[in-house]
Amino acid sequence: MMTFEQKWRYKWLKWTNVERSMSLATISDAHRLIWYRNPKVASRTISAALWDIDPNLTEFPGPTRLPLAMRRDYFSFAIVRNPVDRAVSLWRQKVLSTPEHGSRIWKLSSAQIAKLRDFDAFLDWLERQDLNRGEAHVRKQDAFVPSEVNYVGKMENLAEDWANVLAKSGIAASSQLQHKNATKGNRAEALTEVQRARIIRLYRADVLRFYPELLVE
């Protein structure tokens, strides 16, 4: 159960969060830990593991609305994902597997979401979106990870990076990751070079910051 201080802090952050599409930060006061959530990057998997460790987690709009002292004194981490794989996973899940969800979060009609089943049409649509402040699933990962974050792991190395997070944050518990909400058939090898280049261009900020090797492949 949240303490009075935690409830007050949450309400203040919620009331002052004028930008409703801001990202969330999950906080463990018990372990002085901050996790900056990143959509389509094992969010449910990490959330389940953290709840195993601390049943009193709280979530706040973040990262800019978090108190400076917390951002300074708590250990913070985020997990990122190859932007090409993330875009393909987004398309497979929100367009092919659960189009009703894609329609709802992107405010598209059934006919409009159906047109996005063609991957090139999906990329055309993606190029028209606000990738800095738009809907969370299409936004650049760079927007979710503040510059002062202590540790950035990668989904491609999730088990090892999760172990590093536990060790660096001084958590003795061993919470196993159980991958949830996995998108089947998410491999991006079938993309054409043109499609791959379009995604890299769209998410260039993520590539430069987290995956610079994609620029020299």
Q: What is the mean pLDDT of residues 28-38?
A: 94
Q: At what angle do helices 193-202 and 83-91 cross, to 10 degrees?
A: 100
- In eight-state DSSP terms, residue 64 is T
Per-domain boundaries in the chain: 4-81+141-168, 83-139+181-215
What pLDDT is stored for residue 16 in this prediction?
Answer: 40
Which among 22, 80, 29, 21 has a CA at the least distance from the CA of 50?
A: 29
- For residue 131, give Cα distances in angstroms to 51, 104, 178, 205: 30, 18, 30, 10
For the chain, helix (H) and strand (E) counts, in that order, are 10, 5
Token duo for residue 165: 């997070």
**DSSP of 156-168, one letter per residue?**
GGHHHHHHHHHHH
pLDDT at 217 over 90: no
How is residue 137 written in tokens? 């699933």
| Residue range 142-176, pLDDT digits in tens | 999 999 999 999 999 999 999 999 999 988 866 66
Which has more pLDDT, 61 or 194? 194
Integer-rounded Cα radius of gyration of the chain: 18
Mean pLDDT of 112-126: 98
